[in-house]
Structure 1
Amino acid sequence: MVPTDHTRANAAPETSHSRFAHVKGALILLVPVLAVIYAGIVGYMYVNQQSLLFKPDGELPAPNSIGLADVETVSLTMSDGVRLTAWSAPPATDDAPTVLFFHGQSGNLGDRADRMREILNSGFGLLAPSYRGYPGSEGEPSEMALISDGIQMYDQLDRQGADVVLHGQSLGTAVATAVAELRPNAQLLVLEAPFTATVDVAAERYPWLPVHALMRDQFATRDLIGNVTVPTLIFHGSKDETVPLHHGEALAAMSGDTAQIYVIPDGTHKDLWSHGLWDQVQQSLPAN
Structure 2
Amino acid sequence: MEKKFDKLFEKEKIDKILKLIIKNFEKDDEELLLENVGYLEKLCHTIKEKDWVFSEDIVSIILKNMNNRWWHVRQDLIVLLGHLTEMFPKDLIQIDLDPIIDQLKEFFIGDDDLDNRYHTLRVIGKIGLIAPNKCLQFLLNQLYDPNPKIQVYSINALTEIANHHIGEVKEILPFLTETLEKENIDPYVVQTLEESIKKINEHLYDKEISDFMMTEQISCPYCKEFYPAKSDVCTNCGKEVARCQICRQKLQHETDMKPCPYCKTFFHKKHILEWIRDKHNCPSCMRSLFEEDLK
Give the TM-score range, shorter chain: under 0.3
- Going by fraction, where is helix more abundant, 1 or 2? 2
Normalising by structure 2, what TM-score? Answer: 0.26
Normalising by structure 1, what TM-score? Answer: 0.27
- Going by fraction, where is strand more abundant, 1 or 2? 1
Q: Which structure would you say has the larger Rg?
A: 2
